[in-house]
Structure 1
Amino acid sequence: MKRRDFFKKGSKAAIAAGILPLASSSCASQKSITNTTSKDKWNHLGKGKIGVSNRKKEIDFEVVIIGGGAAGICAAVASARNGAKTVLIQDRPVLGGNASSEMRVHLNGVNNIKGKAERETGIIEELLLLNRFENEQESFSVFDHVMYDFVIREPNLTLMVNTQAVEAIMDGTVIKSAKCWQATTETLYTINGKVFIDCSGDGLLAATAGAEYRTGREGKQEFNENFAPEKADGWQMGATLLMSSKDMGKPMHYSPPSYAIKYTHEGAHKRRKFAGFQDGIWWIEVGSNDDIIADAEINRHKLMGYLHGVWDYIKNSGNFPEAENLALDWVGSLPSRRESRRFIGDYVVSEKDMTQHKNFYDAVAFGGWSLDEHNPGGIENISEPPSYFHYHFKSIYQFPFRSLYSKNISNLMFAGRNVSQTHIALSSSRIMATCALQGQAVGTAATLCVQHATTPKDIGTKYINQLQEQLLRDDAFIPNKVANDNADLAKQASTLFADSTSSGNILNLTNGISRDINGEINHWQSKNTSAEIQLEWDTPLNISKIELKCDTNLSRNIMMRKDSRNDALYGNSIPKEMLKTLSIQGRVNGKWIDLGGINQNKTRLIKFSFDTQKVTAIKINLKETYGAKKIKLFEVRCYA
């Protein structure tokens, strides 16, 4: 494969000084990130001549999560909500990773199975729903702030932005601390923790810990993968730089900058199309056959040149008259990376695990985006298609917990594109909402590690059912796994009935399956715009929590798109099916008392907590949706 060299004069030497070494011993000697105050000549006019205050700090947490993309956000929120003292460390000023305003990639997930979505639920859906409430204008910059609010409102969760974890401090095979450099405050933090989760994508912390990893493409024979190359090689899918344009209502001139790389489209493959170019072109992409992390700044510069070269072609070649009034209104400067390190767990997920829908006893997440092998050379190999194939799944596949923790570092887990999988498997599971499901799984597992004073490996062997049950309770979905929480008192109700039914069965609310799937109905739906559901017990029992799962139309995606698409597969508003207003009552000593109410519900998983009441019945008054004429529920749970 031919790669052109646009750097003739020492560009590699120019960036080498900015690369941190990966070996733990080397990182320990990095003087550039430690504070030396003996030569500081600060003259504080308010206090007199003083030295710089101590900017080395040490903080203790139970769970330490590196990387604030979709996976890291969901891991951190899951960990905090389940009771662990948690910190989320993000090296950028904003959260969201590739979905942030810095990169603006659609937060895709399963997206489309058999012409219908099988959308993710749980924490990632809660975040996307909140964005529909708080960001009706669909601004990526506002989405940054929605994500920020979503994280910092959690009482057990501390957020540290502009902070990079640069070194793992080890005690044998256990990570004791993460050395972190916060650039904005010139502070070197030592973050102590019991469990560490690397959701950063590139996985610098995990690499400095000595966690085993690989890069590149496996050969066909290693995992018997149909879509793998014949022999292993070093190629990794490239990073992309996006842009967006605006119709100015008049002809707009464009002159490319000095670093633009001339683009002609001559000899380009017919599948390199320009549809939707107004919102960016994903195949402006550069990969690597070697160290894609070390090449990051070289590739960033190339991508900026290619982006402007392609836009120059669109504006000035005469082939796109529809672009006459368009002008760039945003240009990315931070490429969106698809692939680098893949850390090795107790199981390596491969192509056939997905295509043959392997049933894992330790399944904790799912995916369904197509296997999507990009052209390794990206835009530097325009004679070949930008993506070689899409293997479209007919149903979703499982992802096992054994692929989400390190095989050789005992308290380290992963979520995102750096998990234990082959290159071909990565081509599907790298999608952000799939990574988010992995994040919720490991964040929940981390709290179990703390509670049981054990390792992720032990969670996978001794406590896997507890992990799966908690994920299902928290509205994650695990294919082929039916919830059976012994603490759920709704399952003990002697009678469960509704005042009307138009579809489904009221008993579906306790059948352990919280969505309609594979053509099977698992819901109850009323006949009217309001309804009542009642649970009865033969003897009084104590209840302090009631949890419901309502309808948010999982056949329609709700992630924000640059084109604000609104059709059968994508919705750009609050799902009209979602329950808006409801209240609950309990029968105590023969009389109904109010236990709680919500006037503007914003989540699929609806929770009520109240002082413990000894009841013989619970009545759920469903009053209003966001526009649907009937009310649909999938689950009711009650807890002491």
Structure 2
Amino acid sequence: MRIAALILLTTFPVFSSAAELFVEAESFQNQGGWKLDTQFIQEMGSPYLLAHGIGTPVDDATTEVTVAEAGTYHVFVRTKDWVARWNAPGTPGRFQLAIDGKKLATEFGTQGADWAWQSGGTVDLPAGKTELRLIDQTGFDGRCDAIYLTTDKSNAPPNDSEVLSKWRREQLGIADEPAERVGYDLVVVGGGYSGLGAAISGARMGCKVALIQDRGVLGGNGSSEVRVWAMGNIRRGRYPRIGEIIEEISDHATKSPGKKEEFVDELKEQVVRAEENIDLFLNHRAFAVETEGDRIVSVDAFDTRNGAVSRFKGMLFADCTGHAWIGAWAGADLEMTPEGRMGMSNMWAWDERAEPAEFPETPWALPLKMADFPYPRDHHGQWFWESGFDKDPLGDAEGIRDWNLRAVYGAFNAMKNGDGAEKHKTAFLTWVAYIGGPRESRRLIGDVLLNEEDIVSKRDFPDGTVPSTWSIDLHYPKKQYAEKFPDNPFISIAVHGKGVDRMYGYPIPYRCFYSRNISNLFMAGRCASVTHEALGTVRVMKTCGMMGEVVGKAAAICVERQCLPRGVYTDYLDQLTEMLELPGKAYRKQVGGETIIPDDALPLAGPAGLFEGLDPAKMKGLVIDDEKAKVSGPWVKGQGLKGYVGYGYRYASPGSGATMTFEAAAPEAGSYDIRVLYGPHPNRGTTVPVSLEAGGETISRRVDMRGEPTAESKSETFADVSLEKGAKVRVTISSDGAGGNVHADAIQLIAK
């Protein structure tokens, strides 16, 4: 937790009559190479400093304190031996503490599997300023929470894991009443893709927004700290404007994990700070909620660097934490799949240099040989380095992360010092994620609990909004690598289900984005109202971000209409629809004000996203794409034959009963070539039935679609007809008696 009331970081000395000093490691003025780790506050009570040097000791962390009274001080450091829980040999997390320039003899991080105060002996200190220095000895994830010095040995600090416990509050001088931050229409907790979408969307529709993020960067799993590339197609479906905000802040990584700069942390922050209606609170951890009846009144959060507590009051709240923390504290209905959950990933990368590179032996890591893990091709340990499937994702997240680290270091040790040593003499680690990428824990329950059958059967909800285009992708331990460590496998396999339209997307109902029993609580992202199976498709980051976009716009309606989230569905769904059709950059200075569409608004995408083929609007004449045709039977969407119109084409097996009907109206009176566009291929039909109804006549032909693929779909004139202005044209392509696969791309009316 934070800055001590009994020490001095730079100015404002505070003198202790109890002859004691308390220093939170995260409050060190110079953290050197140590990392601020805030992932596990709820389970162990505090942020801490982590010496994550991937095998090379990190630079010292230093701070200056003021000793109020000279004397002999007993030293205590809250830390742990992070591999002791597995009885692993060695102590990789060793570090020393130097006080007033003198190293204590004690090596910290060498005792106990749990967080506890390790004694460091005594030190004689004069009154006045002195320096504290944390000295990493291994580069293998030593950790320090806090330092406590007292002249009374019996005055040992209590070892509790409560966030901002009474004892810590007293030590830090934290006021009983936090500073109030008021006037917010929407308080968003969580700065990943879902939180970013909610905050930016709400702010642009005029809401005053507080965005609370417990780390120093935005993006969550899509930040440079975790480096999961953002998946899920955007700008498509019923409301193709949804996703335009996410397009502004999304990474463009070509691999996962990608390079740090590909995840554009600075751009995300820049876009948020450009919004006048957003107050951004980085490095703030929410830890408590106040409710009245079925409403949230406020959320408490503390600054993870100095302990200052703020109370955020607002009309509406959005849980975008990924773990449903806000909903859980508020008493929202929720669920967590008891077994078979997806786990957490910690990805990694390595490279090679011209000269041989050394890597320390890691006897405490998992004892791996090259056959025990998939070879990290392209120098990347990818998403499938995943564990914790049936472990506690909330109460033991640190244990899951640490097991992943043991797996990574064990694998690289096998490459460098084991049976892969001959091949990897020049290999060296370049990056290992110490921030975990979780996939599944708690989910809040809304008025609709979306399930797999809803998605596969394409159940049509009237409030379907966000297009989910990822397949139902669930992760399980990969059997061949699970045998050696059956209690906690660390390599996963993805099992992809069918039934999700990856072009158009399945529209997720708005009613999945608010709590059914906490009346002013929205949720977006991994804690939305879906089952475990449905989570497999909605959990990817761009889809989560689009959920946030919908939440932000719904919040603006709540403020304008003085209603609650449920009321948007029951009374103002038409208004939400109108908002979802606005460009992502559209904005209002205040709720209910004039909507302004700036010149740099993105062009409207079609129902299946931006065109990947020929744009029908730019082709000669009137073109009707297969997306606008009436489809019956088992057509399959394809994009393999290039040069298609719009977003792709469709094909069907001969005799399958598939039909497709294109309808058009003549824009002017005159004579027209009616053309059929298809992609030739050796497996296409030679006798494909095509019929034309126009001007009271019906013309039927058999079309030979067989041939070698061409650069563009073949345009074949089917008929030449005279039409009155507005006359209807209907072209039907069938599979019966086709003599091969049937291909349907578009029809074209060209005036002669």
Counterpart in the other structure of 1:282 = 383
Give the TM-score, by structure 1 length. 0.63
Counterpart in the other structure of 1:401 = 510
Counterpart in the other structure of 1:595 = none
Structure 2 contact 345–437 (Cα < 8 Å) conserved: yes
Q: Which amino acid aligns with 2:245?
A: I
Counterparts of 1:103-502 in structure 2, within 5 Å, are 103-110=226-233, 121-128=243-250, 139-140=260-261, 143-216=264-337, 233-257=338-362, 259-264=364-369, 266=371, 273-274=374-375, 276=377, 278-289=379-390, 291-319=392-420, 323-375=424-476, 386-387=492-493, 389-392=495-498, 393-395=500-502, 396-475=505-584
Counterpart in the other structure of 2:113 = 11
Higher relative contact order (CA 8 A, sep 6+): 1
Name the SS of the counterpart of 2:86 in structure 1: coil
State the 1:264 CA deviation: 2.3
Per-residue deviation, residues 342-400 of structure 1 (Å, max 9, x unmatched):
11111111112222222221012011212222115997556897225212434421111
Structure 1: distance between partners of 2:391 and 2:419: 38
Q: Which amino acid aligns with 1:84?
A: C
Which residue of 212, 215, 228 corresponds with 1:89?
212
Matched, 1:524 2:630: no
Structure 1: distance between partners of 2:483 and 2:183: 49
Structure 1 contact 80–157 (Cα < 8 Å) conserved: yes
Structure 2: distance between partners of 1:35 and 1:450: 39
State the 1:215 CA deviation: 0.8
Number of residues paired by the alignment? 450
Structure 1 contact 90–160 (Cα < 8 Å) conserved: yes
Where structure 2 has 5 or more consecutive residues not aligned to the other structure, the ranges are 1-82, 88-110, 117-144, 146-157, 586-593, 598-602, 621-645, 649-752
Name the SS of the counterpart of 1:457 in structure 2: helix
Name the SS of the counterpart of 1:64 in structure 2: strand
Structure 2 contact 345–404 (Cα < 8 Å) conserved: yes
Counterpart in the other structure of 2:187 = 64
Structure 1 pair 259/158, CA: closer, same or farther in 2 (3 Å)? farther
Q: Which amino acid aligns with 1:329?
A: T
Counterpart in the other structure of 1:98 = 221
Q: Which amino acid aligns with 1:253?
A: E
Per-residue deviation, residues 132-190 of structure 1 (Å, max 9, x unmatched):
9xxxx964387111111011111111100111111111010000110111122321111
Bigger proportion of residues as helix: 1
Structure 2 contact 241–580 (Cα < 8 Å) conserved: no
Structure 2 contact 84–112 (Cα < 8 Å) conserved: no
Structure 1 contact 181–189 (Cα < 8 Å) conserved: yes
Structure 1 contact 66–89 (Cα < 8 Å) conserved: yes
Structure 1 contact 73–439 (Cα < 8 Å) conserved: yes
Name the SS of the counterpart of 2:301 in structure 1: strand
Structure 2: distance between partners of 1:246 and 1:377: 26
State the 1:296 CA deviation: 0.9
Name the SS of the counterpart of 1:292 in structure 2: coil
Structure 2: distance between partners of 1:173 and 1:311: 51
Q: Which amino acid aligns with 1:235?
A: G
Name the SS of the counterpart of 1:185 in structure 2: coil
Name the SS of the counterpart of 1:61 in structure 2: strand
Structure 2: distance between partners of 1:53 and 1:86: 26
State the 1:313 CA deviation: 2.4
Counterpart in the other structure of 2:203 = 80
State the 1:450 CA deviation: 0.9
Structure 1 contact 288–377 (Cα < 8 Å) conserved: no
Matched, 1:31 2:135: no
Structure 2: distance between partners of 1:10 and 1:514: 58
Structure 1: distance between partners of 2:400 and 2:357: 29
Name the SS of the counterpart of 2:298 in structure 1: strand
Structure 1 contact 91–161 (Cα < 8 Å) conserved: yes
Give the TM-score, by structure 2 length. 0.54
Structure 2 contact 85–113 (Cα < 8 Å) conserved: no
Structure 2 contact 222–263 (Cα < 8 Å) conserved: no
Per-residue deviation, residues 209-235 of structure 1 (Å, max 9, x unmatched):
00111111xxxxxxxxxxxxxxxx433
Name the SS of the counterpart of 1:186 in structure 2: coil
Structure 1 pair 516/308, CA: closer, same or farther in 2 (3 Å)? closer
State the 1:109 CA deviation: 1.5
State the 1:288 CA deviation: 4.2
State the 1:273 CA deviation: 3.5
Counterpart in the other structure of 2:665 = none
Name the SS of the counterpart of 1:237 in structure 2: coil
State the 1:207 CA deviation: 0.7
Structure 1 contact 286–380 (Cα < 8 Å) conserved: no
Structure 1 pair 359/433, CA: closer, same or farther in 2 (3 Å)? same
Structure 1 pair 489/186, CA: closer, same or farther in 2 (3 Å)? closer
Name the SS of the counterpart of 1:75 in structure 2: helix
State the 1:236 CA deviation: 2.0
Counterpart in the other structure of 1:593 = none
Structure 1: distance between partners of 2:544 and 2:317: 17
Counterpart in the other structure of 2:688 = none
Structure 1: distance between partners of 2:550 and 2:513: 9
Structure 1 pair 377/239, CA: closer, same or farther in 2 (3 Å)? farther
Structure 1: distance between partners of 2:560 and 2:548: 19
Structure 1 contact 199–418 (Cα < 8 Å) conserved: yes
Structure 1: distance between partners of 2:647 and 2:209: 30
Q: Which amino acid aligns with 1:156?
A: N
Higher mean C-alpha displacement, 142-151 vs 59-68: 142-151
Name the SS of the counterpart of 1:72 in structure 2: helix
State the 1:521 CA deviation: 8.3
Structure 2: distance between partners of 1:489 and 1:459: 23
Per-residue deviation, residues 473-493 of structure 1 (Å, max 9, x unmatched):
1359xxxxxxxxxx9999xxx
Structure 2: distance between partners of 1:522 and 1:470: 26
Structure 1: distance between partners of 2:467 and 2:352: 40
Name the SS of the counterpart of 2:515 in structure 1: coil
Structure 2 contact 250–263 (Cα < 8 Å) conserved: no
Structure 2: distance between partners of 1:178 and 1:34: 18
Name the SS of the counterpart of 1:62 in structure 2: strand
